[in-house]
Each structure stands twice: as structure tokens, then as C-alpha cells.
Amino acid sequence: MKTIFIMVKCDLGKAYDVAAEAVENVEHVSEVYSISGKYDLMMKCYLSDEQDIGHFVNEQIQTLPGIKDTFTMITFKAFN
Amino acid sequence: MKTIFIMVKCDLGKAYDVAAEAVENVEHVSEVYSISGKYDLMMKCYLSDEQDIGHFVNEQIQTLPGIKDTFTMITFKAFN
Amino acid sequence: MKTIFIMVKCDLGKAYDVAAEAVENVEHVSEVYSISGKYDLMMKCYLSDEQDIGHFVNEQIQTLPGIKDTFTMITFKAFN
Amino acid sequence: MKTIFIMVKCDLGKAYDVAAEAVENVEHVSEVYSISGKYDLMMKCYLSDEQDIGHFVNEQIQTLPGIKDTFTMITFKAFN
Amino acid sequence: MKTIFIMVKCDLGKAYDVAAEAVENVEHVSEVYSISGKYDLMMKCYLSDEQDIGHFVNEQIQTLPGIKDTFTMITFKAFN
Amino acid sequence: MKTIFIMVKCDLGKAYDVAAEAVENVEHVSEVYSISGKYDLMMKCYLSDEQDIGHFVNEQIQTLPGIKDTFTMITFKAFN
Amino acid sequence: MKTIFIMVKCDLGKAYDVAAEAVENVEHVSEVYSISGKYDLMMKCYLSDEQDIGHFVNEQIQTLPGIKDTFTMITFKAFN
Amino acid sequence: MKTIFIMVKCDLGKAYDVAAEAVENVEHVSEVYSISGKYDLMMKCYLSDEQDIGHFVNEQIQTLPGIKDTFTMITFKAFN
Amino acid sequence: MKTIFIMVKCDLGKAYDVAAEAVENVEHVSEVYSISGKYDLMMKCYLSDEQDIGHFVNEQIQTLPGIKDTFTMITFKAFN
Amino acid sequence: MKTIFIMVKCDLGKAYDVAAEAVENVEHVSEVYSISGKYDLMMKCYLSDEQDIGHFVNEQIQTLPGIKDTFTMITFKAFN
């Protein structure tokens, strides 16, 4: 299992539609936060070890209506 | 009660219309300043503790006509 | 009367000392907020119309112990 | 309860010491991830509603040995 | 009397039209320079003490045809 | 005659000493402004057509005590 | 033989089409990676010593459908 | 005689057309290089001492078809 | 097997020592390139699927003498 | 033969010493310009086709006393 974070900039006024859509309909999206700063949302996703992260971001996230830009951060290890 | 600042970039020549509209018609916007630098306006808003900041920025501010981009800063504590 | 905002980056772990010192001992500093993002503090100051903003930032703020960098925003008009 | 993310840049070679120290000894730090990009770590923290985020970042995180810089993101709402 | 500088990015090939228009027809614009770097023009303006800088930039400058972006710098004191 | 602008970042609390020193003792510096934003000062200098701008910035400005960084803008034409 | 890396930003959701197209149909593209961060793809290309890198990037890469921006890095020496 | 460098960003796939056009048809353009990094071209131009650099960049370069953005660097002295 | 790229900024004049050291003595570093732009080196590393990328960057790369900063890019899929 | 440009940031007040030293004592440096903007110097160098650019920048340029940072641009083709 691997954890990734995707910061998302949305069309003006569309962030909450994007968030609801992602959490409801996109498998592997576990939590979506609306956040401070220049991005609107941060999505936390769990992918299985064989899954291709780039394919997931490209096909499942970037194609959601209302998204303008994405920035992907990969985590390597969780300390908890 | 919590205080947030939203820096706003407007369509060229629209900053004062946006400012007037926000102060008159958007609840929780307490003051709007026109400012130096690359943004046109800084909005100071007071939200109740239960209110969702992201929802407010997304639905009440980003949907005002004449806004191009927003940057949200959250305050944690006021010393005064 | 004019209102300015000064965003302040502090030495690590010193932001609350700087904030307390500024609010208590620096005249014209009306509120100090700790904030999200890359700066630690935002200071709101009221200066009289004859006061020199640059002199104030340079002599009263930048000389506080624990400050690393400042960014000054001037407001032109308050809508409220 | 509120959730914040703190991105952390560490002294070279110190990121895993910082991560271990934060998870073990700093209350409210729930997970620490080592991440891709220009920061070394992302810390996810849960604070109670009355807790002051700025005080926590300033006193509990920025004072950990081996930290060089922090960037704080506040979440407003979790969709999950 | 107060002095402000406005750096201006113009539509490609329009900088000299903008400059001529600003100097001829916009009161308070005292000098316009074409400059090196990423902006095309720097405008120096003198406003009376009661004039609202933001209103001037928004209504008099940003509405000139051929302007794409502006960045405003306020001066506090002139040493000369 | 040619006009150049030099934006100057000073050591904390030293901007007004630098400004006074530059105006008094550096030939060709005609005006120095303290300014909003991330730089502390903007210097306007008039050089004769044969003078070497780089030599002037390097030898006359960057060597003033209290200066940390400079950014030079050249003007090509003055409309006035 | 010389090795270059081209970082590529694609239209939303088009990165994998671009990658497949580049690897299959563009000679000299040896590997394409989908990557973390703000770019979508990194392409590694081998060109012969007489080949013009700029011509290759301009004619072979930037003309692929679905590409929005490119950033080219040249390698000088391979240690391996 | 003075030497200036203009870095140029072109429409995708148009850099070599712009380069050829500039070298052939724009007087004062002495060399055009395709370059690594985020810009596509660097143009080296020699202007006579009385020529207005801003006018040249604005009228002769920015109006070439296929140009998206320019960044101008002025040289002060050549050591050679 | 997974592939990562690490861009490295070195102390002035130390890039080739760092490169030689990394290729010779650090397991998993397969190629090191000196590159154009603001970084000095790009390292390509192959790690086994169970290896922790963050631990590797932190313990094996950032501790090499002569390194000043690192930026890590993770690849998800190789098209070739 | 290949042409490269190196933009150089120097210690305050040292740019002209660096320029003179580079032109006099470093083979392959053909011209050095002092320039506007945030860098102090631009060096134009001609290297033979077999020469390693990274080695040259690292050993011959970055080791000159008074240099703080370098940014290297490679040219691919000269139109002239």
C-alpha cells in the first residue's frame, strides 16, 4: 500500500463539487481536505503496490470536471 | 470566532466593484482593503467557530463577478 | 490615519516572543496574528498621516529581536 | 478537532531523526511522511478545537533539533 | 504629495502606445519609462495626499487599452 | 544622460542609514525612496552616457555598508 | 551521442497519450517516465553528436498533440 | 554601440520559424541561439548608442509572429 | 524495481567530486549526469520495491560531502 | 565548437574583479558582460566539441574567487 497527496487548484467556486465528486466516485481517494494557501484541495489517496500512480492521477483525477491544475507528492514512509 | 485574510486578484479595473460588492453583500466580510503589490484586495473576514472556511471562500468569495484568483491565510491567534 | 500590514518571518521558535513584544512595546501595532503559510506573523499597524511608514518598519519592527525578514503591504482604502 | 499539515525542510541527512522524534515525543503529531519534492517531511497533526495552531507549530515543531524551515497548511473540512 | 511606482506588463508590441497614452491623457502620471526585465514599463505618479491610490490604479491605469498586468510599489519617503 | 533604478535589500534595520549615506555621498544617486514589498529601497540614478552602469552599481552601490542584495533596472526612454 | 531530459506539462488527462505517442513514434526518445511534482512526464532522449537539440525539441516534441509546456535539461557527462 | 540579450518564449513548435525570421529580417539582430531551460531562444542584438532599446524590443521583436513572451537583459560593459 | 531522479546542488566547484563519489560508492546510483540550469547534477537511482526512498535520499545521498540541496522526483511508469 | 552562456552572481562589489579574472585567465571565456537584473555577469564561452561543459563550469568558473552562484544555459544552434 502506498500513500500519495495531490494538491488541486479548481475553477473558481468549483472546489467543493470537485471534492464531493472525488470522494464519492473515485476509488482510492480516501480523504479530501479544503486547505489554506494557493491550492483549493488536498487529496490523500491509497494505492496498492502494483498500481501506477501516474495513470491514476492522469485518468482518475485530472479528468474530473472543474480541475485546473494538480501537484503530486509521493510519500515514502509513514512514521506513526 | 476566527479571523481569515483572503488576498484577491481581480479582472483589470474591477477591483473596486468587487470590494464594494463584497462589503455590502457578503456576510462575514468585515473589511476590504485595496493594497500594494501583485494582489488588488485584501479581505478580512470573521467566521463563527462552526463555519467551514473553505466553503465560505469557495461559495461566497470565489463566485463574486470580477475575481480572477484568491490566496487564503488563516490566523491562529490574535495578540492585541 | 493609514493602515499597513507587515508579514514577518521569525527565527525558528521565536514567533510568539516577537508577537508579544510587538503588541506590548511597539506603539502603532494594533494587532498581531500568527498565520498559515510561509510567514509566521501578520502585523496590522495604524499610523498617523504624517508618519513615515518606512522609518517605522525599519526602526520599530525590523529591530525587534527574533525577526528574520519582513514584507510590507500598504492599504489605500478600507471598505467597511 | 482540526487537522493541519506541516511541510518541513530539515538539515541535510537529518530528516529521519526529525521524523522519529516528532512521532514519538510530540503530542498531536499523528503521522509523519517522508515526501518527494523540495521538502523532506509532511506532518499531519490533530489539534483540539481550543488549541492554538501557531503556538503548537512555533513551540512544539520549530524547536525540534534538525529543522530548517516549515510551511503550514490548514484544512477546513474533510470529505471522506 | 505622495509618489508611487507602477510596473506594467503590456500586450505584445503595445508598450509604447500604452506609455504615450498614459503620459498624455492620465493626470498624475509624471513619467513613464520603458525598462529591462520582465515588465515593459515603469510609471511614476504623483498623487495628492487625499487621493486614493487603489482607486487611481484601478480606474485610471488598469483600464488603459493594451495593459495585461500591474504591480504597484508605494514610496514612503524620498531622500534627495 | 541615462536613468537607472536599483532596488536594494538591506540588513535588518539599516535601510535608512543606507539611504542617507547613498544620497549624501554617492554621486549620481538623485533620489532614494523607501518602498513597500520585499525590497527596502529604490534608488534612482542619473549617469552620463559614457558611464559604465555595471561599474557604478558594483563599486559605488554594492560596497555601501548595510546592503544585502541589489536588483538593477535600466530605463530606455522617458515619456514625459 | 548526447543525452537530454525534457520535462513536459500536458493538457489535463493527456499525459499517458503523449507518453505512448512519444515512445512509439518519435525517434531518439528512449524512455518516458510519468513523474511526481508539477510536470507530468520526463523524457530521456539520445541524439547523435551532429543533431541539433533545439530543432528536435521544437519540431519533434513540442508538436505532439496534448503538450502544454516543455523544460529542457542538457547533460554534459555521464558518470556510470 | 550597445549589446542586449532578449530571451524569447515562443508558441509551441514555432521557435525555429521565429529564429529564422528574426535573423533574416530584423536589422540589429546579430545572432539567435536556441537554448536549454524554460525559454526557447536567446537573441543578441547590437544597437547604436542613439537607438531606443525599448522601442526596438516592442516594435521589432514582440511583433514577430509566434512570440509569446520576452525578457530583456542589458549589458553595460564587455570584457574581452 | 523503481526509478527515481535526484537533482543535486553542490558546493561551488565540488560537483564532479560528488558525482564520482556517488557513482563509485553509493549502491543503487546507476548514473549521474552533470546538467544545465540551476542544479549541478542529476542522479538516476534504481531501488528495489521494498526499499524506502526517503531513507535512501536522507542517509545515502544527503550525507555525501559537498552537497548543498536536493530535489527528488519519483517516476511511476517507464514507457520504453 | 559549442557556445554556452553562464549567468553569474558575485559577492557584493566583486563582479568586476571576477569579470577581469575570467577574461584574462580562463581559457574558452570569450566575452564577459555586466548585466541588468538579479545576476551580475553573463559569460559567453566557446568550447570544443569534445570538451565537457560541466567539468569546465565546475573547475574553471565556480572556483574563481568572488563567485556565489551560477546558472548555465546551453545553446544548440546559432542562426546568424
All residues at 6 or more sequence positions from H66 whose CB lies less than 8 Å from its CB, including other chains: H10, H11, H14, H15, H17, H18, H21
- With beta carbons less than 8 A apart as the criterion, state whether B69 and B11 touch: no
- What span, in angstroms and rounded, lies between the C-alpha atoms of D54 and D2? 13
All three cell numbers of H70, joined, read 520576452
Over residues E35-57, the mean pLDDT reads 94
In the block, which residue shows the cell 497527496? Answer: A5
pTM equals 0.92
Distance, in angstroms, between D40 CA and closest chain B CA?
A: 23
| Residue E78 confidence (pLDDT) above 90 | no
> For residue H9, is pLDDT > 90?
yes
pLDDT at residue A79, rounded to an integer: 85
CATH fold of D2-74 reads Alpha-Beta Plaits (3.30.70)
Please give the Cα distance from H3 to E79 (Å, whole number).
Answer: 33
User: Could you tell me where the DSSP H helices lie in J26-75?
Assistant: 53-56
Residue E11 φ/ψ, nearest 5 degrees: -60, 145
- Whether the per-residue pLDDT at B79 is higher than 90: the answer is no
Do I76 and A49 make contact, defined as CB atoms within 8 angstroms? Answer: no
Calpha distance C57→E31 (Å, rounded): 28
Residue F43 in contact with residue F31, Cβ under 8 Å?
Answer: yes
Q: Which of residues 61-80 of A touch I (CB under 8 A)?
A: 74, 76-77
CB A72 within 8 A of CB A53: yes
pLDDT (tens digit, 9 = 90+) per residue, G35-47? 999 999 999 999 9
Sequence-distant (6+) residues with CB within 8 A of H12 are G62, G63, G67, G70
Q: What are phi and psi of C77, to 5 degrees?
A: -150, 140
Q: At which residue does the C-alpha cell 530521456 appear? A: G44
> Which residues in G lie closer than 8 A to residue A58 (C-beta atoms)?
13-16, 34, 40
Task: Dig out the grid coordinates for F66 from the structure.
Answer: 548595510
Q: Percent of chain B having pLDDT more than 90?
A: 89
Q: Min CA distance, J50 vs chain H (Å)?
A: 19
Q: Inter-chain contact C42–B3, Cβ cutoff 8 Å? A: no
Tens of pLDDT, residues G10-23: 999 999 999 999 99
**Helix residue ranges, H only, G1-80:** 15-25, 53-56
pLDDT band at J77 (very low <50, low <70, confident <90, very high): confident
Question: Which positions in chain H touch I34 (Cβ < 8 Å)?
Answer: none
| Contact (Cβ atoms closer than 8 angstroms) between residue C20 and residue D56 | no
Rounded to 5°, angle at Cα I62 from I56 and I63: 100
pLDDT > 90: percent of chain J: 89
Residue J53 in contact with partner chain G when CB distance is under 8 A: yes
Give backbone dihedrals phi and psi of E34, rounded to 5 degrees, phi first: -85, 140
> How many angstroms from the chain centroid is the CA of residue D32?
7
Main-chain dihedrals φ then ψ at residue I77, nearest 5 degrees: -150, 140
pLDDT value of residue I67: 97
pLDDT at residue A69 is higher than 90: yes
Phi and psi, residue H49, nearest 5°: -60, -30
F24 φ/ψ angles, rounded to the nearest 5 degrees: -75, -45
- Flag whether residue H23 sits within 8 Å of chain J, measured between CB atoms: yes
Taking the Cβ of residue B52 and every Cβ of chain A, the question of whether any pair is shorter than 8 Å is answered with: yes
Task: Report the C-alpha gap between C10 and C39 in whole angstroms.
Answer: 8
In 10 A of CB J47, how many CB atoms?
17
C-alpha cell at G33: 517516465
Q: State the pLDDT confidence band at J30, using cuts at 50, 70 and 90.
A: very high
Calculate how close chain H gets to E14, using CA atoms only, in Å: 7
E13 Rama sector, left if φ>0, alpha if ψ -120 to 50, beta otherwise: left
**pLDDT tens figures, F21-32:** 999 999 999 999
pLDDT range class, residue B77, cuts 50, 70, 90: confident
pLDDT higher at A30 or D1: A30
Average pLDDT, chain B: 95
In contact, F45 and F29? CB cutoff 8 Å: yes
pLDDT tens track for I53-76: 999 999 999 999 999 999 999 999
- Cα separation of D32 and D41, whole Å? 7
Average pLDDT, chain G: 95
CB-based contact F49 H49, cutoff 8 Å: yes
What percent of chain G lies above the pLDDT cut of 70?
100
Cross-chain Cβ contact G37/A71 below 8 Å: yes
> What pLDDT was estimated at residue A10?
97
pLDDT band per the 50, 70, 90 thresholds, residue B80: confident
Separation in Å, CA B36 to CA B33, F29, F39: 10, 25, 13
Task: Break chain D into its structural domains and give their ranges.
Answer: 2-74
Residues of chain F with C-beta less than 8 angstroms from the C-beta of E27: none
Q: How many angstroms separate the CA of residue G19 from the nearest CA in chain A?
A: 11
Averaged pLDDT for residues J13-31: 96
**What is the number of helices (H) and of strands (E) in chain G?**
2, 4
In three-state secondary structure terms, I19 is helix
- What is the pLDDT averaged over residues J48-74? 95
Subunits that touch chain B (at least 3 Cβ pairs < 8 angstroms)?
A: A, C, D, E, F
Contact B12 E73 (CB under 8 A): no
**Residue H15: which of H40, H50, H39, H44 has the closest Cα?**
H40
Which percentage of chain D shows pLDDT scores above 70?
100
Give the count of alpha carbons within 13 A of D15, CB side only.
Answer: 35
Query: 3-class secondary structure for A6-40?
Result: EEEEECCCCHHHHHHHHHHHCCCEEEEEEECECCC
Mean pLDDT across the stretch D69-75?
96
Residue G80 has pLDDT above 80, yes or no: no
User: How much is the CA Rg of chain G, to the nearest whole Å?
Assistant: 12
pLDDT of amino acid H60: 97
Q: Look over chain A and give the mean of its residue pLDDT values, rounded to a whole number.
A: 95
The interface pTM score, or ipTM, of the predicted complex is: 0.89
User: SS3 letters for chain E?
Assistant: CEEEEEEEEECCCCHHHHHHHHHHHCCCEEEEEEECECCCEEEEEEECCCCCHHHHHHHHHCCCCCEEEEEEEEEEEEEC
Query: How far away is chain G from the Cα of A72, in angstroms, using its nearest Cα?
Result: 5
pLDDT above 90: percentage of residues in chain E? 89
Residues of chain C with pLDDT under 70: none
Q: How far apart are CA G53 and CA G19, in angstroms?
A: 19
The C-alpha atoms of residue B25 and residue B44 are separated, in whole angstroms, by 14
Q: Does residue B25 surpass a pLDDT of 90?
A: yes
Query: C46: which 3 cell numbers?
Result: 495604524
Residue J38 or H77, more confident = J38
Q: Look at residue F33 in the predicted model and tell me its pLDDT.
A: 95
Q: How far is G32 from chain A (nearest CA, A)?
A: 12
Strands I2-10 and I41-47: antiparallel
| 8 Å CB contact of B63 and A38 | no
Using one digit for the tens of pLDDT, what is the confidence trace for I35-56?
999 999 999 999 998 899 999 9
Whether chain F has a CB inside 8 Å of the CB on B38: the answer is: no
- Chains B, F: CB contacts under 8 A, how many? 4
* pLDDT score of A2 more than 80: yes
Query: Is residue F17 very low, low, confident or very high in pLDDT (cuts 50, 70, 90)?
Result: very high
pLDDT tens profile G25-69:
999 999 999 999 999 999 999 999 889 999 999 999 999 999 999
Parallel/antiparallel/unpaired status of strands G41-47 and F67-79: unpaired
